[in-house]
Amino acid sequence: MDTEPKPNGRLAGKVAIVTGAAGGIGGAVTERFLQEGAQVVAMDLGGPLGGIAWDGPQIVSVSVDLADRVNTDAALETALAAFGTPDILVAAAALKGGKSFLDCSDADWDSYVAVNLTGTFRACQRVAKAMVAAAKGGRIVTVGSVNSYMSEPNAAQYVATKGGIAMLTRAMAVDLARHGILVNMIAPGPIDVPSNGDMYREPKLAASLADEVALGRPGLPEDCATAALFLAEDENRYTTGSTITVDGGLSAMIFGAMR
């Protein structure tokens, strides 16, 4: 993939904020947006931003702990000041995994709600207020999951918060439409990100994916970045309150594919 920014790219002249920018999907979104000419504020819990191809005047890194309200508010103010009012927000930060419903403690539940749902709410609300004040519209993209509308074992708090993001996205789309702000969600399915290690190459899981995913394989973070790019660019003028499911056909089948 070309690592040089395109001066006439699809996001040239745009300012974007990406939360969860050190993650597989957030990192891919950040890199693609940079390549398409945007200035990007990359926000994450801390440490080096994985997957980012370069440093330079187009990108600013801001550390944020979405579970901490005071820290989040300060980090978002820093992000908003970096390049001015953003045109785009991609809210990709999230805790992964989870526990069985019977084993999920109050602390487990609270930690996932704090980051995945409340953290997304805070980031989106603060950026939306800046967009409204600037009166130039904008694009907000949340990162949900196929778990926003279908569950899996041992992930009670994760799927509950992702379901909440789906409805929060719709609520934002309705309330922000009159301000020219379009709000949509990406729902990734099985995506091969660095944090998964070699999970998808484990023989049993690989065989399961071959049967349960129409395309027979996991997706890549770049597939999610492509969806985010469409939702973020000016050419998207009438899609709001919607979900792009990036799951290789997983949710299109009742049972495994006949192979």
DSSP string spanning 200-222? GGSHHHHHHHHHHSTTSS-B-HH
Taking only the tens place, the pLDDT of each residue in 1-28 is 445 778 789 999 999 999 999 999 999 9
Q: Copy the structure tokens of residue 96.
A: 């992964």
Parallel/antiparallel/unpaired status of strands 15-19 and 138-143: unpaired
Q: List the catalytic residue out of 112, 149, 158, 238.
A: 158
Which CATH architecture is the domain 15-248 placed in? 3-Layer(aba) Sandwich (3.40)
**pTM of the shown model:** 0.93
DSSP 43: E
Strand order in the sheet with 243-246: 59-63, 39-44, 15-19, 88-91, 138-143, 181-188, 243-246
pLDDT above 90 coverage of the chain, percent: 81
Pick from 48-62, 138-152, 213-227, 232-246: least confident:
48-62
Task: pLDDT band for 192, please (50, 70, 90 cuts).
Answer: very high
pLDDT, one tens digit per residue, over 27-68 is 999 999 999 999 999 999 975 555 555 578 999 999 999 999
Domain ranges of the chain: 15-248
Residue 180: predicted pLDDT: 98
Query: Active site includes 158?
Result: yes
pLDDT of residue 257: 52
pLDDT at 1: 42
Query: What pLDDT is recorded for position 209?
Result: 86
Token pair, residue 64, equals 């944020």
pLDDT over 70 percentage in the chain: 94
**Long-range contact set of residues 108-113: C-beta below 8 Å, sequence gap at least 24:** 108/157, 109/157, 111/67, 111/157, 112/157, 112/158, 112/160, 112/161, 113/157, 113/160, 113/161, 113/164
